[in-house]
Structure 1
């Protein structure tokens, strides 16, 4: 037997490691569910609730392990290594091929939670001869909580951007197995070598999964997308996917399509040119979002543009669309213009710290399907926008679908109105998206100006603009609440609207 002190140190270190692993598995399941299904609040809440309650069940079940605690602990680590290590692969596979994702999510969450709930009581009981009860409990829970903090920082800052979700899953399965091996080394005199053989087998398949993660995730993602994936990146903020086929390019963020090159001109012409025609001056222009450079391309068609500031949180997007040969062609190499300044910063922080007035403000953000995006559709944010909009200037925001998410569209319009701006809502049909809406706003009542015919636009002209401002009865204005930071009604309207059409 190993002397007492190394045994204690090893098992306490194991407590620290398994605490990290436990929280990482929890974060993995919540992140994968949000990526695949959307509605991050619901899925993170569901995973945390299931996980914690399952840990409670596991802690209760630990009382039935009366003897051979060391054997139970090693077997537990091997089981967690398998379930946790393959959890990301199983969830992605279930979504792409089996179409019963939530059943597998519940199963994996409950299994992992229960097994992790057994761990701490087992360690305390194994160490009971080495410490007094109060020291034992204090030592174990201190390391457990510190490990959780370490995992909470490690996951978003290192693991997701550097490894991705599937590689992280396999890696932490190996870490759990390492704890099992460490425990086996301490107690090998009473456990024997058969456990080592099993651990070598588990380690082999986990290492194989780790090494083949890129190929596995590529195969699964190709199943999820219509065309071949030519670019894939997990940034600290989101998952970027670019697909292409026969010259047709599609861009996705977290699985949601951002544009299709076959019809993106309809969206970007509708977003940009009504607001440009509504502002007297084009000297100073702000674009919030729009990191693909397509809105920027439309803005730069105006010869009197002085300068354009494009603010996008994720530098990976602006870098991709400024350097990638195929993608930069789509935006006509707009990032190369001397008139353009790119700032990779949170839009709220930028607006809050900025003192400039802008003649045109174009907001091209993803749909408000989570709190971090939803706050950029709030009254408070639009008041900040209003403060930075020149007296004769105009702003516009994409405003989701007035058909698929009827109340969400009118909630955005109501919210902007409550920010002391005069709104002009309009909509158009974009094949890739369906019926899509926008809200233009000004300080003075002026309406949408005439479209410059010399721009030779592919879709937009004055006749189309007039039609865009007409709303049929099924998408006409309805009574809704404004979107405030204290209520976040927009996310509720948005989720409810889309769920009626596409129930997950």
Structure 2
């Protein structure tokens, strides 16, 4: 056959094979994203998860490419068997990882093993498809490689768009992996039919599809059971938003707890200690206009609204689903005392960092109530650049900034890095800490412009209301740190060098 006289059947075969290249590329990339996303949700620190998964996956792909050499003598058989294996392992990957985390506490080694196994099998695919492509047309290997890589890279683009915008919102991680596993099996059938391979090779593909179908039927019950295994109390609400897993649990004694991506955000038994300590020192001064960054549960907002002389509050939170839940869930709305219904409140569902860069409004008090900085998305909200933006763009003269800083006991380097970051942004700081039984020793940073000096720790009791925890004596004690948890010589956190991620991970390593 010459390069200039290609039969219609050969041309059709080549198109189908290149389409298969695109399909398996989509599948392989989605498996990577599922593993990365699941690890990030469960552990945070997305940089660590991405690095480990990519290293395991790509290195195993190289080994798979070498292992595919003997299979190229019978590329159809080799490809169908490889697709059967990758469909099975990849399709069940999310369930395997979830089970390893929930039941065996073996997530990290299982993650590396699963990523390596899938990477090895994906590495086998391209050499086998290359061998099949070269059988359809007599042309230089360079041209075949160019066509194959073009289809492969296009598949990565399709997967990169489809996973966050289609698969994850519609199916979730477990069902997404199962659906993509079925696509891998379909790729095997396409090749089997296109090159007219032995019909007996359909058997392993059909067997894998049967396993995946059974797993899909069982997946809902498995997810509920495995998810409950992660929490001490019964789950009363759970959902996966575009940004995070949101879970509410409630004990028999009425202890309501909120978890975001598995991390505890509050316990109704003692959340008042945290929120009173965060909010009221920032409001011991001008407070007509208040900004709350984060705090989508509405509990910090509740404390702000206890002051009748507060005229306007803007709350900026990333997740519209969290804001909706805080309004509509009767348990959560009861705890925040229907704070979002107050006419003084305006809510904005947007990333706080991006919102800050476009805001023209200034405030007497800014309260930063973000989740702990255990991934890149939250680390930027604890950076010098962020606090500098707060100082320059948001704070009125005499205004105060209050930041939740994590635990000075469990993660002292992270806490003092946050304090250093606030100071490096041109703010005079006053660190303090209180005991919140659900969290342990918990720290905060109060700040105002350096020319105004460190703000005094004070509390103005709301008119006609009583604080359950915070008073002048408690605040005076809160400013004292024991020698083993005092100020440390650590570096500030910046966008270019997100040191807070390492400080946070090191701090909780042994707890």
Other-structure match for 2:151: 143
Other-structure match for 1:37: 43
Residue 278 (structure 2) aligned to one of 261, 268, 271: 271
- Which deviates further from its counterpart, 262-271 or 287-296? 262-271
Other-structure match for 2:367: 362
Is 2:206 the counterpart of 1:206? no
Cα deviation for residue 55 of structure 1 reads: 0.5
What do the CA deviations read for 1:176-200 (whole angstroms, capped 9, x no partner)? 0111122222244x412x3333322
Other-structure match for 2:67: 61
Matches for 1:95-494 after TM superposition, within 5 Å:
95-131=101-137, 132=139, 133-188=141-196, 190-192=197-199, 194-246=200-252, 247-277=254-284, 279=285, 281-387=286-392, 388-443=394-449, 444-445=452-453, 446-452=455-461, 454-494=464-504
Cα deviation for residue 386 of structure 1 reads: 0.8
Contact 2:429/2:447, CA 8 A, preserved across alignment: yes
- Which deviates further from its counterpart, 100-109 or 360-369? 100-109
Other-structure match for 2:10: 4
Q: How many residues align?
A: 496
What do the CA deviations read for 1:262-308 (whole angstroms, capped 9, x no partner)? 1111111111111111x2x2211100000000000111100011010
- Give the whole-Å Cα distance in 2 for the aligned partners of 1:202 and 1:296: 52
- Give the whole-Å Cα distance in 2 for the aligned partners of 1:366 and 1:392: 27
- Give the whole-Å Cα distance in 1 for the aligned partners of 2:228 and 2:88: 25
Contact 2:72/2:78, CA 8 A, preserved across alignment: no
Cα deviation for residue 486 of structure 1 reads: 2.1
- Give the whole-Å Cα distance in 2 for the aligned partners of 1:66 and 1:391: 73
Alignment partner of 1:275: what SS? coil
- Give the whole-Å Cα distance in 2 for the aligned partners of 1:14 and 1:28: 21
Contact 2:72/2:131, CA 8 A, preserved across alignment: no
- Which deviates further from its counterpart, 209-218 or 348-357? 209-218
- Give the whole-Å Cα distance in 1 for the aligned partners of 2:57 and 2:25: 13
The unaligned stretches of length 5 or more in structure 1 are none
Other-structure match for 1:19: 25
Cα deviation for residue 467 of structure 1 reads: 1.1
- Which deviates further from its counterpart, 165-174 or 489-498? 489-498
- Give the whole-Å Cα distance in 2 for the aligned partners of 1:87 and 1:210: 13
Contact 2:288/2:312, CA 8 A, preserved across alignment: yes
Alignment partner of 1:111: what SS? helix
Contact 2:280/2:459, CA 8 A, preserved across alignment: no
- Give the whole-Å Cα distance in 2 for the aligned partners of 1:58 and 1:228: 44
Other-structure match for 2:83: 77
Cα deviation for residue 351 of structure 1 reads: 1.1
What do the CA deviations read for 1:413-472 (whole angstroms, capped 9, x no partner)? 111112121111110111111110000011223402233164211111111111111111
Cα deviation for residue 66 of structure 1 reads: 4.2
- Which deviates further from its counterpart, 486-495 or 316-325? 486-495
- Which deviates further from its counterpart, 226-235 or 292-301? 226-235
Alignment partner of 2:282: what SS? helix
Q: Summarize the Cα distance change of 1:207–1:361 in structure 2 as closer, same or farther, 3 Å threshold.
A: same
Contact 1:80/1:173, CA 8 A, preserved across alignment: yes
Alignment partner of 1:274: what SS? coil
Cα deviation for residue 252 of structure 1 reads: 0.7
Contact 2:297/2:322, CA 8 A, preserved across alignment: yes
The unaligned stretches of length 5 or more in structure 2 are 1-7
Cα deviation for residue 94 of structure 1 reads: 1.1
Runs of 4+ in 1 over 6 A off after TM superposition: none
Alignment partner of 1:276: what SS? coil
- Which deviates further from its counterpart, 268-277 or 291-300? 268-277
Contact 1:160/1:235, CA 8 A, preserved across alignment: no
TM-score, with length taken from structure 2 = 0.94
